[in-house]
Structure formats: structure tokens, C-alpha cells
A = this chain, B = another copy of it.
Amino acid sequence: MKTTIYDISEKAGVSIATVSRVLNGSSKVKPKTKQKVLDAIQEFGYTPNAFARGLGLNSMNTIGLMCADSSDLYLAKAIYYIEQNLRQNGYNSILCCTGYDLERKKSAMDLLMSKRVDSIVMIGSSFLEASDADNDYIRHAADQVPVMLLNADFDYPNVYCTLCDDAKGMANATNYLIQTGAKDILYLYNSNTYSNMKKLTGHQTALLQAGLKVRDTHHAKYPGQREDLEAIALFLEQFVEEKSVTFDAILTSDDTLAIGAFKYCKRKGLRVPEDISIIGYNNSLIARCSEPELTSVDSRLETLCNQLSKTLIHVLEGDEMPQKTIFSGDLIKRQSTKA
């Protein structure tokens, strides 16, 4: 049997209340008795039981983190930043990976709520379902604890959103392509998450504002795995052939897609950026791995995560905070676009 507070109290010759007091460090304990208790704890290698603790305190300063896929470059970074911020403020994190399936999201939420987390942080826009009724699980959570959304926009009391204005980010990228001489931009994206929809809108708005047409033939939705670069290139090849589109630039909703586009160009003997300009999104590590390096929209993830964490800490401390904080993305110009 594991050692408990009773073993310690017996060994130290004090009551369990006193042991609990030195454990919590709250109320005053005479230095001498404190030392006796600490010695006993040391000797037994005692670790307090968080279950019992949580029961008594009804909170353990822990935050539930939900994310679809912790191995996604972008999400992994976000987890890292947020976890770090929270820990530095005395909160522990529990991470649940949910995949992209509603049932798994719900069950992860249940799990976290059962662990009586002080808040839920939902990392990534994939948590918002197209059918609004399906978002009830978020509302249900928000009825009990503050819910923080990263890169998603959701109106409900006690839900706080921190996001990058992806529409504007993508509009900037589009404008930059147009400025540097592009006439026909092929837009490549891969899923209908909330932020991908925003990006698409931003792109189209920019096209219209520049007096260009929005053409279905120039929107390619890649259905496969994002990390399968060859498959992306292959998909593009088929798409281009099938629709017989011509274009002088490729704009993508994600850096990996852009790298896939590189592979396509290479295969077709197209030079980047002389023949085709390419812009990615997220400015992740891989944007600096390609040759030429990839121009990309930086969605300022670290800033977003820091802000989200700060907001959360304040909310937990009872401060009034804005429910929506929006940053705008930076276009990082590299060599995959013309000067």
C-alpha cells in the first residue's frame, strides 16, 4: 500500500492536519515540527495523492488542452507555447488529442471535464463543426469553465477567442502576388476548417478588389494526407491536366502544400520563382528548408499563444477580459516569389 498522510503523521508524531499544513505551506507551522514532517516525508519518499487532494480542494490548477493532432508542426508548437506559459503561472496541463472526429472531440471533452480542469483550451480551428448544433459540446463546457479557442471564432458567454485574421493574411499574400506580376493564381487548400474558409474568402476578396475574376478552375482542394508531398504533387498534376488551367502563381493554405507545389514544379520543369511564384502559410520550419526558401504568411503563433495564456490566467483570477483578440498575419518574403 502506498504511504499516506497518516504514515507521515505517525512517523513525525503530529496530527494529519499538521502534515497537510506543511504540505500546503499555507498556515503557520512551527519550524521545528515542520522539519520533523519534512524529514518523515523524505524518509518515506511520500507523494501526496492528487485524487484526494483534488477532492478536498475541488481544483488542482490544471488546464485541459485539446488538439486534433499533436504531431502537426503547427499545433505542436502551439501546445508547446501554451503549456510553457501555463506552467510558469502555476498551472499544469493535460493534453488530449482528438483527431478530426466529433465523437472523439466530445469524449475528450468529457474526460477533461471529469478531471475537473479549471479551463479548456481548444487548439486549432478544427474544433468548430459546420453544423452549429454540433458545437453544443463547447457550449456545455463553457457553462462550467472558461473555454479558450485558438484560431477559431465562436460567440458564446465564457468562450474567449484568440486568433489571427487569416482572411487579411491571405489577402496580403494575394496582393503581393499580384503586385509582383502574377495574373493567374492557383489556390491550393486541403480541408474546410474554419480558418481555411477564412483564408479562401480573404483570397477571393483580394482578387475581386484587384479587379480579377474568381474562377472555380483555380481552386484546388487536395483531399489527401498533408504530409504526403508526392501525393500533393501528383494531385496538382492531375488537377491541372483535368481542368487544363494555366497559372503563374500558386497560393496555398499551408506550407506543406506549398512544398508539394514545389515538387510539382520541379517535375514539370517549371522554375520557382521565374515561371511560378509560390506562397505558403504558417511560416513553419519547412518554409526555410526548401530551395528556394518559401515565402509564407506568418500567423504569429507565439504571440497568439502568449496572449491566449495571459487572457486565461486573468480570467481564472476573476478579471474581466475581452472575449475576442485578433492579430493580423505577417507576410515573410523569401525567394519563392519574385522581388
Contacts and interface: CB of A to CB of B under 8 A. Distances in A.
Interface stretch (A30-38, A89-97, A198-206, A240-248): A89-97
Residue picked from A47, A83, A96, A143, most chain B C-beta under 10 Å: A47
Interface stretch (A74-82, A173-181, A323-331): A74-82
A80 B227 CA distance: 15
Contact of A285 (B77, B83, B256, B288): B256
A49 interface: yes
A34 to B, nearest CB: 19
A27 to B, nearest CB: 21
A70 B83 contact: yes
Contact of A291 (B116, B288, B291): B291
A93 to B, nearest CB: 7
Contacts of A95: 83, 93-95
A48 interface: yes
A114 interface: yes
Interface of A: 2, 45, 47-55, 58, 60, 69-71, 73, 76-77, 79-81, 83-84, 87, 92-97, 110-111, 113-116, 140, 143-144, 227, 229, 256, 259, 262, 266, 285-286, 288-291
